[in-house]
Structure 1
Amino acid sequence: MSHEGLAPAARERDFEDELPDRNRLAGLASSLRKQKFAMLGLAILMVVMLMALTAPVISPMSPTAHSLSRVLKPPMWNGEGHVFILGTDHLGRDLLSRIIYGSRVSLIVGFFSVVFSGAIGLFVGLVAGYFGGKVDYLLMRLVDFVLSFPFILLALSTIAILGPSLQLIIVMLSLRLWTVYARVVRGAVLSLREMEFVVAAVGIGSSHMRVLFRHILPNVLAPVVIIGSLYLGRMIIIEAGLSFLGLGVPPPTPTWGGLMAEGRSYLYVSWWIVAFPCLAITLTALGANLVGDWLRNVLDPRLRVR
C-alpha cells in the first residue's frame, strides 16, 4: 500500500527533474531555427559527415584507381562527354572520389584532436584552478612552454623520427591545442571556487574529487564545448596545411591538403585539381565556424541576446 502511494510521487519528481533538460533542448532547437547561418553551417557539416560515412557507396570509383588514358580530364560540364564529374588528376584518378575519401581524414583528425586536447586541457585546468599555489604555477609554466615551442619545428622533427601517420597528426594537434582549453578552464575554476555553493560544499566536508566533478565540472563544460566547436575548423585547416607540406597522412590515402599539393604543378593547365579540394576545405571550415559562433552565442551568457 505504501509503495503504491509513493510510486506516483516518485514518477512526478522524475518528470519534473527532466523538464529543465527538455526546456534546454527546446531552447537550443528554437535558437537554431532562428539563426539561418547556423542552419547553413550545420547543413554543411552534416553533408560532409554523410559523405565521409558513405564514401564506399557514393564514390563513383576507387580513389586510387589510375589510368594514363584519362589523365587531366576536365570537369564533366566542360563538354567532352566523359563521366568524371570533377575531372581527373595527373595520374587519371577520379577527383570526386578522392575528395569524398579525403573528407574522412579531415573529419577524423579534426574531431579526435578536439576531443583529446579537450580532455587533457579540461583536466589540467581543473587541477590548476582548484588547487592553486605551486600546482597552478607548475602547470601554467608547462602551458607557457608548450605555447612557446614552434609547432612546425615540432612537427618536422617528430615526423622525421617517427614517420608520418594519421595517429601522429592527431597526437601532435592535441598536444598543441590542449593549452587553450587549460587556460580557459583554469580561469573559470578560479572564479567558481569562490562561489557560495562551492565554499559550502567544502565546508561540509566534501572531498576534493566530489567538489571538482559534482559542483565545478558541470559549470565549465560550456566553454569547453565552445572552444571545441570553434577550433574544429581550424584543426581541419591545419591538417590540410601539414598534408600540403608533406607532413600529413602519407599516400596513397587521399587528403584534401595532399590533393592540393599534387595539383600545384598543374595549376595553370588543370585548375580543378587544386580548386575543388580548396573549396571543400573552405566550406567545411566555414560550416564548423558558423556552428561554433552559434554555440558561443547560446552557451555564453555574456553574449546571449536578451
Structure 2
Amino acid sequence: MNQFQYVRATKPQGAIDAVAKDPTAKFIAGGTNLVDLMKRGIMTPQKLVDINRLPLAKIERQDKGLRLGALALNSAVANDALVRQHQPLLALALNAGASPQLRNMATVGGNMLQRTRCSYFYDLTMPCNKREPGSGCGALEGINRMHAIFGASDKCIAVHPSDMSVALVALDATVLVSGPKGDRRIAFADFHRLPGDTPEKDTNLEAGELITAVDIPDGPFTKHVHYQKVRERASYAFALVSTAAALDLDGNTIKAARLAMGGVAHKPWRLTAAEQSLVGQPATEASFRRAAEVAMQGAKAFKHNAYKLKLGPNTIVQALRTAAAA
C-alpha cells in the first residue's frame, strides 16, 4: 500500500475543502472497498480525509419521505423501524448484500460509490480502461461471465456491484451532495454513469463533492415488494443478476410498479418500460412474463454471459411473483 496523509474532519465544509484542494485526496468512512483497492495498488490516494465524525448518520422522517444520512451504516438502515415500515424493499436489498460484518461497517454513501468487482479491473497485469484509460478492456475478449448485457461500450463492459443502489433507483431516490460550488440534488437514476468513452468515471459527482444524504419519497410500495438476488453462493457474493420489484395492487390489478436490475449494467438498471407494461394488468404469470420480455429488449450478451439473457427474465418473473404474493 502507498504511503498517505491522514486527516480527520469534524465539519462537512472542512472535509470538502480538504479534498477540493488536493486532487489526490479521497474521503474515507467505512473503507470496506477503498482500503481493498489501496492494498492492491488500484487506487493510490495521497491523502485520506476521515469523515466518520461528521453529523451525517441520521435516519429520519421528512415531510414526504425518509432521509438517510450518508454515514448511516448499512446494517442500521436495514434494521431501522422507519425503513422497514415505509421502504421495506430497501431493507431487503441491503440484507442481501455482502456479509453482516461488512454491513456493520459500510455506509450508505460508500455503498453507492463502491467500484466494480470486474476481475480485470483488479488485476494490474491486465488492460482496463476503468483503471488506466486508453489501455483497453481485457473483459471484451476475456472471461466475461459476470459482465454487462445493457449499456456497455467498446471501452468497458463492467457492472456496478451494489444491491442497495438497485432498490434506491427503483424507489426514485434523490442524492444530496455538497461541494465547493454549494449544495445540489441528483436524481438517483442520474447519479451513476454508463461507461461510454469514459469508464473511469463511475458517477456524476464533481471534484470535491461529498454525499450528505439520500431522500426516498413516500410511495404505495410498502407491502408487495421483493429483492431477488441470484449469486453463486449464499453468502458474500455479488449478483449474477438481481431484481428489485415493487407492486401497488388493487385486488389483483396492478396500479403501479417499480422494477430495477443489478448485475447487468455499469449502473443500477431501471426498467421503466417494463413497469409501464404492468400498469392496469392482472398480477399473473402471463403479465409478469410479458414485462420480462419488455425489460430484456436491447440486451446484448458476450461470449461467456449469454446465460444472463435467460436468467435475467426468469429473475424478473420470480421477483414479481414473490412480490405479488407478499
Q: TM-score per shorter chain, which class?
A: under 0.3
Task: Give TM-score, length-normalised by structure 2.
Answer: 0.23
Question: Who wins on radius of gyration, i.e. which is larger?
Answer: 1
Please identify which structure carries the higher helix content: 1
Please identify which structure carries the higher strand content: 2
